[in-house]
Amino acid sequence: MSLSPRIPRLALVGDRSAAVRAHTRVPLILDALSERYDIDLDAYWIPTPQAYDLEGFDGIWVLPGSPYAGRQGALNAARTARTHRIPFLGTCGGFQHALLDFARDVCGLDVAHGESDPDAPALLLRPLACTLAGHEGKVRLTPGSLLSSIAGAETMTARYHCSFGLNPDYLDVLEAHGLRFTAHDFASPGDAAEVRAAELPGHPFFVGTLFQPELDEDVPHPIIRAFADSMGKLCT
């Protein structure tokens, strides 16, 4: 007799707060995954100061809400998912800290996040020229990428609540070490398109987005559903 697949265990890494809209949406997302797609997840909220020993989880989602109470915990969550090949989703601050960990641990860069270390000499994440807090717009997806496959289209609607983005001076070195940037904004003529998402080829699922799919009107967002699907595949 075959055994039923176990329910995947999901670490929701973030300092849970009713003031963070993305956090209030998570229960709705988990319910929708179960009711609409028969995807049940055993989810645990992990405050960032306690985000260690995560190897036993089947998925790690670093949620918005930076600056985090435990910045190193957020970095550790991204590193654990990357090195242990655990499906990972990082949104907004989670995306930023996944980039920061990759730059430091894989690329060997001595870089910082401008939100927590504004006076650091080398900022990987720096203030955006115009804040994206409350902004909604289309992003262009790279053909052949995981995100374009998830969307089934060349564009995706993105909703934001952030003021920091990737410093383009570090694009080349991050890409040279294997990170792939697969969503960009629609730049004005003469301007370079800015990064809005990244993924790690060869990993079961490693996606970070500057935008917040938690805020999408259609719950759950396709990215979140694909993330949950990737967890389930590891538990069958």
CATH number at residue 160: 3.40.50.880
Domain for residue 17, yes or no?
yes
What pLDDT does residue 109 have? 98
Mean per-residue pLDDT of the chain: 94
Domain for residue 1, yes or no?
no
Other beta carbons less than 10 A from residue 203's beta carbon? 17
Total domains present in the chain? 1
Domain for residue 3, yes or no?
no
Domain for residue 2, yes or no?
no
Q: How far apart are CA 1 and CA 178, in angstroms?
A: 43
What pLDDT does residue 69 have? 96
Do residues 197 and 181 lie in contact, with contact meaning Cβ atoms separated by under 8 Å?
yes
Q: What angle do CA 191, 195, 198 make, to 5 degrees?
A: 160
How does pLDDT run across 149-174, given as a tens digit for each residue? 999 999 999 999 999 999 999 999 99
Judge whether residue 2 has pLDDT over 70: no
Domain for residue 204, yes or no?
yes
Percent of the chain with pLDDT over 90: 89
